[in-house]
Chain A
Amino acid sequence: EDQVTQSPEALRLQEGESSSLNCSYTVSGLRGLFWYRQDPGKGPEFLFTLYSAGEEKEKERLKATLTKKESFLHITAPKPEDSATYLCAVQADSNYQLIWGAGTKLIIKP
């Protein structure tokens, strides 16, 4: 069964304290892995797509990496405005529907 698991469920960091969020997946052939950011009261906002193992994408303080089993979202020197829920979704070769993880709630304290 295709499955996506995100960890941890919640993460509290001090401003400037770097860390990583994990997205583990099990799919029969990966078409794409997507990272989104969701702020309270808002819809998910697209961040990155990764297509194959070894690929990396960067945007400001965020860097996403991909292996055959998992993806990491690395946050370097985070600021309070990086506080949000980060969602991971996977698209399998077998269909066009996305399989979503439950998200990691990230809180950055000043």
Chain B
Amino acid sequence: DADVTQTPRNRITKTGKRIMLECSQTKGHDRMYWYRQDPGLGLRLIYYSFDVKDINKGEISDGYSVSRQAQAKFSLSLESAIPNQTALYFCATGETGGAGNQPQHFGDGTRLSIL
């Protein structure tokens, strides 16, 4: 089984719909992240969480919200989807400790299309 699992893997929906993407992990990491990936651009951070009670906005949080339901679960919501949110979405986890420069570990992504 994958250490970082994202559901669904693919989703097509319409403008204005509410969408939730889910992420669960078995790595036991405290830190979790949501990114989006667009062609020709680097990964961009949407939200991150260093533990269950800690939620932080990333570079592009507008139009998104998150919930950290447990150490192992971190979900991303689009309250009212718009076409420019069409992208590949990745969840990642990371360990706490050291100098804060531990590598992140990624799920296989959700391909989201908004018509």
Q: Tally A residues with Cβ within 8 Å of B.
A: 23
Given the known interface contacts A42-B108, A103-B42, the answer about A97 and B58 at a Cβ–Cβ threshold of 8 Å is yes
Contact of B97 with A by CB under 8 A:
no
A30 to B45, CA, bound (A): 19
**Residues in B whose Cβ lies below 8 Å from that of A49:** 101, 103
A96 to B100, CA, bound (A): 7
- Smallest distance from the beta carbon of B76 to chain A beta carbons, Å? 15
Given the known interface contacts A32-B101, A51-B101, the answer about A42 and B109 at a Cβ–Cβ threshold of 8 Å is yes
Grouping DSSP codes into helix (H, G, I), strand (E, B) and loop, the B interface class, with mixed when no group exceeds half, is: loop
Chain A 13-38 residues near chain B, CB threshold 8 A: 31-32, 34
B4 touches A31 (CB 8 A): no
**Residues in B whose Cβ lies below 8 Å from that of A87:** 42-43
Chain B 77-113 residues near chain A, CB threshold 8 A: 90, 92, 99-101, 103-109
Contact of B74 with A by CB under 8 A:
no
Which of B48, B103, B109 has its CB near the most chain A CB atoms (within 10 A)?
A: B103
Chain A 70-110 residues near chain B, CB threshold 8 A: 87, 89, 91, 96-103
- 12 further A-B contacts with Cβ under 8 Å, apart from A32-B99, A44-B90, A89-B42, are A31-B100, A34-B103, A34-B104, A41-B108, A42-B109, A43-B108, A44-B106, A45-B106, A46-B103, A46-B104, A46-B105, A102-B42
